[in-house]
Amino acid sequence: MGNIVLLDDLTINQIAAGEVIERPANVVKELVENAIDAGSTTITVEIKQGGKSLIKVIDNGKGILREDIPNAIERHATSKIKSVEDLEKTYTMGFRGEALASIASISRLTIISKTEQEELGFKVVTEAGDIIEAEEVGAKVGTTMLVENLFFNTPVRYKFLKQDATEFKFIKDWMQKVALANLNIAFKLINDGKQVFQSNGNGNIRDLIYVLYGKDTSENLIDVDYKEENIHITGVIGNTLMARESRKDQIIFLNKRNIRNQVLTSSADQAFKGGGTGIGKFGFFILNLEMPADFYDINVHPTKMEVRFKNESEIYRVFYHAIKSSILSKDFLGNNEQEEKKKDYVENEFKFLTSHFGRENNNPINRIYGVNSNKKDDLKEGEKRTVTLENENATSQDGQELIKRENQRKVDYVYKGILFRTYIVVEIGDEIYLIDQHAAHERLLYEKIRANYKSNIKTNSQMMLVPEVYDLTHKEIEFVKNNIELFKNIGFDIELFGENSVKINGIPDIDYRVNSKNVFLDTLDEMITNERSTSKDVEERFIATVACKAAVKANMDLTPQEVDNLIQNLLTLKNPYTCPHGRPTTIKFSKDEISKRIN
């Protein structure tokens, strides 16, 4: 009895199926993963013409039994699982039993293989999936797969291939990743007869990084080796010098499989924030997460690049800790913090950060940030405070000067309380100001969002702890599709998700006093209800709408600290007295006016 068996119909139907071979790099991936699954310690890949004419993968794994070879190229035939439940304890790269069948059907595939128990090897040649040759051959234990004339019978796919050099680049990028994940396998990559790189399989990631990225990079890395119960995270992160413009050098492996995952990316962003990287830059990391296979579901997409973690927030937390602990390590900071103290610190900081995510406004942290970071005592009614203003003159809409400002003029104000849970009363000199808390906050947020928008930094979002998926109406989805750049520029990390859903991974990085989840839906609703034409107009209106939806509402109780921050922030604006819609944020009465009306 052979080892490769056909999956039953029920199992077939439960497995994320689909074509995964779009380009030569996909073939290389599938063949190399099979070689890894076969327990190989050396894997050599030879490429010709970007993989279009030849892809050859030679391994020293356990080989395929002669009787199994025809099964290997059968669809849904695999030696790796018997049922979907097996996935909960399966660590192999493959499990669908589809890859070889797909490759065989669109190329000329030659398989030469020998197992330990067989005297001789066996060679099978297939064309478009049909066996055209089969014979005994002399061979070492292991398997050689030869793919020639890829896409010869699928001209459309062939037509979409890029130049050889570009196709080879995809192959090389992927080979480097697979070598970084499998440090105990010696890989060799040869292109048109020339060796491109080689790894020695000695298990040392730094040696390999030296080979792939060079000396500078290898000298600016910090080791990560973090363990918590069943999760073990290892690899390297780059120090501040290694911060990058893109996420290209953020490589994640899950049980050695290269994956993309927003939960982990967001977690890393948070961990790097404020220490690891500058604004708008991305941390460098190559990390493998080792955990029991039943912690996640890999059966999401046929390329197996996506996973669903069963406990996302736990994974988020552990990944955050792994990176942050290394950022705080003595290698990174050059000082000797005590291990225990560091742990507490990371834990506290994590709690602080996560308490910001999408929660309701009932937590004690101030959401309306202060002008300066010095923590002050709570503002008390009747208390006099001072704010320092910049050297510009503030004018109201009708051009009338409201406050004369000289260089760094100081303005004394006295907080008098809040009327109707909505209007903050402030006395400045001989005048009384009534500040509408919603309009004022909206105005501040507008400034901030607009500045973010104009700065063109595409990373002004705060990642959500757990991405949200929303089902939208046809009209809404159309609007999102047509204006996706608008959402992105403003700080929504958003993706279309299936036919009529969107996935929100991040929201504009501003201080929320409302349920931040609703900001997206409320904004969308408002934009659709009042659609207009020109794009400039849409931009402005969009910024204003997000500000409006994210701002504190009337009748919301603010903390004394928030009230003070609001007053100070507002007074320092160039033109604080109207909200983005042109309505006033503030009205004032002078003592004279009042006395005239009373007398």
Ligand X SMILES: Nc1ncnc2c1ncn2[C@@H]1O[C@H](COP(=O)(O)OP(=O)(O)OP(=O)(O)O)[C@@H](O)[C@H]1O
The entry of ligand X, Mg ion, none that residue 74 binds, CB within 5 to 8 Å by partner kind: none
Among the candidate windows 59-67, 519-527, 529-537, 553-561, which touches ligand X by CB under 6 A?
Answer: 59-67
Q: Report 17-36 residues binding ligand X (CB under 6 A).
A: 30, 34-35
Whether the CB-CB separation of 492 and 461 falls below 8 Å is answered with yes
Q: Which of 95, 320, 415, 542 binds ligand X (CB under 6 A)?
A: 95
Q: Report 123-152 residues binding ligand X (CB under 6 A).
A: 143
Q: Judged by CB under 5 A, does residue 99 bind Mg ion?
A: yes
Whether the CB-CB separation of 461 and 519 falls below 8 Å is answered with no
Buried b (16+ CB within 10 A) or exposed e, 138-149: ebebbbbbbbbb
The entry of Mg ion, ligand X, none that residue 438 binds, CB within 5 to 8 Å by partner kind: none
CB of 94 to Mg ion, least distance (A): 3
Q: Judged by CB under 6 A, does residue 259 bind ligand X?
A: no
Q: Judged by CB under 6 A, does residue 46 bind ligand X?
A: no
Q: Which of 44, 79, 234, 545 binds ligand X (CB under 6 A)?
A: 79
Tokens representing 405?
A: 């400002």
Whether the CB-CB separation of 566 and 437 falls below 8 Å is answered with yes
Cβ proximity to ligand X: between 124 and 502 the closer is 124
Looking at residue 288, the DSSP 8-state letter turns out to be E
CB of 188 to ligand X, least distance (A): 16
The entry of Mg ion, ligand X, none that residue 98 binds, CB within 5 to 8 Å by partner kind: ligand X
Q: Which of 7, 25, 28, 100 binds ligand X (CB under 6 A)?
A: 100
Whether the CB-CB separation of 20 and 143 falls below 8 Å is answered with no
Q: Judged by CB under 5 A, does residue 61 bind Mg ion?
A: no
Alpha carbons within 13 A on the beta-carbon side of 276: 26
Q: Report 31-50 residues binding Mg ion (CB under 5 A).
A: 34
The beta strands (E) that lie in 291-409 are given as 296-297, 308-309, 384-388, 394-395, 401-403
Question: Judging by DSSP bridges, how do beta strands 42-48 and 186-191 pair with one another?
Answer: parallel
Q: Judged by CB under 6 A, does residue 558 bind ligand X?
A: no
Tokens representing 165?
A: 């050099």
Q: Which of 46, 98, 312, 476 binds ligand X (CB under 6 A)?
A: 98
**HEC assignment per residue over 549-567:** HHCCCCCCCCCHHHHHHHH
Q: Judged by CB under 6 A, does residue 4 bind ligand X?
A: yes
C-alpha 564, offset from chain centre: 35
Q: Which of 26, 44, 60, 78 binds ligand X (CB under 6 A)?
A: 78
CB of 94 to ligand X, least distance (A): 2
CB of 62 to Mg ion, least distance (A): 14
The entry of ligand X, Mg ion, none that residue 436 binds, CB within 5 to 8 Å by partner kind: none
Give the H or E element holding residue 293.
none
CB of 173 to ligand X, least distance (A): 20
Q: Which of 97, 121, 129, 580 binds ligand X (CB under 6 A)?
A: 97
In angstroms, the CA 31 to CA 438 distance is 60
Q: Which of 80, 123, 172, 367 binds ligand X (CB under 6 A)?
A: 80
Whether the CB-CB separation of 433 and 587 falls below 8 Å is answered with yes
Cβ proximity to Mg ion: between 94 and 576 the closer is 94
In angstroms, the CA 22 to CA 26 distance is 7
In angstroms, the CA 538 to CA 535 distance is 5
In angstroms, the CA 566 to CA 580 distance is 16
Tokens representing 322?
A: 């792994």
The single residue listed with the structure tokens 């001789």 is 120
Cβ-closest position to ligand X: 94
In angstroms, the CA 385 to CA 564 distance is 9
Tokens representing 111?
A: 């398989």
Give phi and psi for 375, each to the nearest 5.
Answer: -75, 130
Q: Judged by CB under 5 A, does residue 94 bind Mg ion?
A: yes
Q: Catalog residues that contact Mg ion under the rule CB under 5 A.
A: 34, 94, 99
Q: Catalog residues that contact ligand X under the rule CB under 6 A.
A: 4, 30, 34-35, 38, 59, 61-64, 72, 78-80, 94-101, 143
